Amino acid sequence: MTELHSPTVTVVVINYNQTDLTLACLASLSALHTPLARVVVVDNGSFDDSVARLQGHVPAADLLVLPVNVGFTAANNAGCRFALQTGEPAYVWFLNNDTLVDPGALDALVNILRARPQVGAAASVLYDMGTDRVQAYGGGWIDLWAGRAQMFTAPVPEERFDFVAGTSLLVRVTAIAQVGLLDERFFMYWEDADFSFRLRRAGWTLTVAPESTVWHLGGASTGVNTVKRKSVTFERYFSQSTVVFYRKHSRIPAVPLLRGLGWYFVKRLIKREWPQARAIVQGTLHALRVTAAHRATLVGPAAPSSTAVTSGHAPN
């Protein structure tokens, strides 16, 4: 068991019209072996009774209410900024609200970051909710030419991780201060892969804590998703973020987009899933507009980064 003598960890949990899931997640956090972890809950513009219900369970000092849905990525950034402005954590634990954590999950993550100063972020092993079936062994790989990505489901050498999953991710604040917050061009999905690429590029190591167990429901924010059929909301935002990612990280983005997302779109047409196919087109067009606008700003006068974070916290 890790003995923490100060609240060095702040947990950031996002809620959007899913108070039952969020409260279940908070209940599991209350059983952590690390009792001094602070939990910041961000309500991301919920239009149901979420805020009133959360106010009955979350201290006012730890509840951030956003007036509109700014997206999963921007909500996490808002929570992180809030945590750094109202405290001095050494680590920020990004945790999805559709998760339940094992009591020792945080200890396992903290132990790795404390023992290995070169590690910028450590992920948990994710299990399908209510089972012992591994959903993701902390992260996965991305082929920037084939336009393919996949989660590992078993232990692999650390150097094989191209990214770690943001579902349950403990990040060193000094690493955030160096590379900045999440890129808000990713409304949701792929933001963790992009953040991982930036951390690795800056010289930080990514790893997984094998003893950090987290159960994950998955797909709660975008409607009903199955292996064979995805919701329209999922298709739109996933496609949108896919385009943003490959345009940002691939040398010739048209190649992975045509081979990956293009073939994915064709399969939707073959299956006559017209709403899903339309959503892919909508997401792709929106991403092209977003990335074009971003590139246009890069040729103008230099401006301070909107994702920059400053921290006087010493490396821990």
Q: Give the tens place of pLDDT for each residue, 45-104.
A: 999 999 999 999 999 999 999 999 999 999 999 999 999 999 999 999 999 999 999 999
Taking every pair of Cα atoms in the chain, the longest distance, rounded to a whole number of angstroms, is 58
Contact 232, 279 (CB under 8 A): yes
Give the model's pLDDT for residue 229. Answer: 76
Contact 109, 122 (CB under 8 A): yes
CATH number of 9-222: 3.90.550.10
Give the model's pLDDT for residue 296. Answer: 75
Q: If you average pLDDT over residues 285-312, what whole number do you get?
A: 65
Contact 178, 202 (CB under 8 A): yes
pLDDT tens digits along 187-243: 999 999 999 999 999 999 999 999 999 999 986 666 555 556 789 999 999 999 999
Kindly report the pTM of this predicted structure: 0.90
Q: If you average pLDDT over residues 302-306, what whole number do you get?
A: 40
Instruction: Tell whether the model's pLDDT for residue 4 goes beyond 70.
Output: no
d(CA 134, CA 22) in angstroms, rounded, equals 22
Specify burial of residue 168 (Cβ count, 10 A radius: 0-12, 13-18, 19+).
buried
Contact 72, 15 (CB under 8 A): no
What's the whole-number average pLDDT of the chain?
A: 91
Instruction: Tell whether the model's pLDDT for residue 1 goes beyond 50.
Output: no
Q: If you average pLDDT over residues 148-166, what whole number do you get?
A: 97
Instruction: Tell whether the model's pLDDT for residue 5 goes beyond 60.
Output: no
Q: Parse the chain into domains and list their residue ranges.
A: 9-222, 232-298
Give the model's pLDDT for residue 230. Answer: 86
Q: Which of 26-35, 134-143, 174-183, 295-304 has the lowest mean pLDDT?
A: 295-304
d(CA 194, CA 77) in angstroms, rounded, equals 14
Instruction: Tell whether the model's pLDDT for residue 306 goes beyond 90.
Output: no
Contact 163, 140 (CB under 8 A): yes
